[in-house]
Amino acid sequence: MPLPPITPHPRLAISTEVRDALVDGHPVVALESTIISHGMPYPRNVEMAREIEQIIRDGDAVPATIAVLDGVPRIGLSGDELDVLGSDESVGKVSIRDLGYVAALGRHGATTVAATMRLAALAGISVFVTGGLGGVHRGGESSMDVSADLTEMSLTEVAIVSAGVKSLLDIGRTLEVLETLGVPVVVYGSDEFPSFYSRSSGFAAPMRLDEPVQIAEMMLAKWELGLSGAISVANPVPAADEIAQVEIEKVIVAALADADAAGVRGKDITPYLLGRIVELTGGASLETNIALVRNNARLGAQIAVEYAALSA
Ligand code: PSU
Ligand code: MN
């Protein structure tokens, strides 16, 4: 077996399949695990995780789902390990600040966008697919509840494909913070920034590209210029699967009121709201959520294939 181009990081456990792909310069797509453990109910979460991995494979790339198991950051998981993440109640939500803690204590952790990005970059993976980004929460200008996903994007060299930012966050302030942090936001094939459940948000696309190869060229150009940090690629949910903005807005307002009444704060807010929105929409939001992740997986694989070709 050929040796990896760089010494593998001593704190990471990279699966054989992912390591071989990285050594060969084959396209690899990282996937997060908070969406599995804290973003969707069991067993749909595990079914989604397996299906997404298959979509990436069908797109000629290797999937690398990332999580912490027994304190070890793992890059590339087995089907059984996905099942543990989806069903074991002891799996915590791990963002950047939590990584050292769960690693030292030997715990399981589902990694957020921020933590997954960092681990993907440590492993040498350049493309990452998720559902929605964290951002500035509504009222964040006084609560200061701003996801570490945003600061991490200013640091880590990964292209991250999402369906935009949910309107349970403050989309306008989230876009402003990303601009301040120097993070480019590229909308794929649309002039409007998407709001996760909907193709529209009321905010214009800061940048627009229509071809995966253009996104790969932008990755290369940005990073060769020494501009570290991520490229946020926002991929609007397919029209057939979207929930109209006016409709989801009513549900979000109700869910936010419920969170307030229940006293939910900090890292528990996003999982709580996602669960409540699924209940209030009678499951429709879950179908939209799964559809948009599928759509992101298809685009992510295409970008990874183009980027691998350009980097060869
Ligand atoms: N948005 C979703 N589903 C999710 C998340 C966001 O539609 O599962 C998760 C992601 O892992 C994201 C995290 O990184 O929530 C943000 O949490 P916080 O705001 O606590 O940083
Ligand atoms: Mn927060």
Q: Is 287 a catalytic residue?
A: no
Nearest CA to ligand 1 atom 21: 147
Q: How far apart are CA 206 and CA 184, in angstroms?
A: 8
Closest ligand 1 atom to 114 CA: 14
- pLDDT tens-digit readout, 29-66: 999 999 999 999 999 999 999 999 999 999 999 999 99
Is residue 166 a contact partner of residue 240, using CB atoms and an 8 Å limit? no
Residue 143 C-alpha to ligand 2 middle, in angstroms?
10
Closest C-alpha residue for ligand 1 atom 17: 134
Predicted confidence (pLDDT) at residue 5 exceeds the cutoff of 70: no
The CA R_g of the chain, rounded to the nearest whole Å, is: 18
For 183-220, the pLDDT digits (tens) are 999 999 999 999 999 999 999 999 999 999 999 999 99
The model's confidence at residue 4, banded by pLDDT at 50, 70 and 90, is very low
**pLDDT category, 2, cuts 50, 70, 90?**
very low
3-class DSSP state for residue 288? helix
The ligand that comes nearest to the alpha carbon of residue 116 is 1
Question: Is 132 near ligand 1, meaning CB less than 6 Å away?
Answer: yes
Can you say how many angstroms the Cα of residue 191 is from the centroid of all Cα atoms in its chain? 22
| Contact between residue 14 and residue 123 where contact means Cβ atoms under 8 Å apart | yes
Which secondary-structure segment (H or E) carries 296?
helix 284-311
Q: Is position 145 annotated in a ligand binding site? A: yes
Q: Is 17 a catalytic residue?
A: no
CB 134 within 8 A of CB 147: yes
Q: For the CA atoms of 271, 273, 279, 285, what is the dihedral angle to 10 degrees?
A: -90
Cβ count near 100 (within 10 Å)? 9
- Nearest alpha-carbon partner for 90 in 114, 110, 76: 110
pLDDT score, position 167: 87
Residues 62 and 226: their CA atoms lie apart, in Å, by 27
Q: Is 148 annotated as a binding residue?
A: yes
Q: Whose CA is nearest to atom 2 of ligand 1?
A: 132
Backbone phi and psi for residue 64, each to the nearest 5 degrees, phi listed first? -130, 90
Tens digit of each residue's pLDDT (9 = 90 or more) over 131-168: 999 999 999 999 999 999 999 999 999 999 999 999 89
Q: Is 250 annotated as a binding residue?
A: no
Q: Supply the pLDDT for residue 1.
A: 37
Instruction: Tell me the two tokens of residue 159.
Output: 């292209």
What is the pLDDT at residue 129? 98
Q: DSSP readout, 114-133?
A: HHHHHHHHHHT--EEE-S--
**288 ligand 1 Cβ < 6 A:** no
What local confidence, expressed as pLDDT, does residue 198 receive? 98
Q: Is 118 in the pocket of ligand 1 (CB under 6 A)?
A: no
3-state secondary structure of 9: coil
Whose C-alpha lies nearest to ligand 1, atom 7?
Answer: 132
User: Tens digit of pLDDT for each residue in 224-253?
Assistant: 999 999 999 999 999 999 999 999 999 999
pLDDT over 50 (residue 93): yes
DSSP string across 29-53: EEE-SHHHHTSS-TTHHHHHHHHHH
The alpha carbon of 142 and the centre of ligand 2 are apart by a number of angstroms equal to 13
CA dihedral 62, 205, 152, 294 (to 10 degrees): -30
Please identify, by atom number, the ligand 1 atom nearest to the C-alpha of residue 148.
21
How does DSSP classify residue 65?
Answer: E
252-307 pLDDT per residue, tens: 999 999 999 999 999 999 999 999 999 999 999 999 999 999 999 999 999 999 99
pLDDT at residue 7 in the model: 65
Distance 309 CA to ligand 1 centre (A): 31
Question: In the prediction, which pLDDT does 91 show?
Answer: 97
Rounded to the nearest angstrom, the gap between the alpha carbon of residue 86 and the centroid of all alpha carbons in its chain is 16
Whether the pLDDT of residue 6 is over 70: the answer is no
Look up the pTM and report it: 0.96
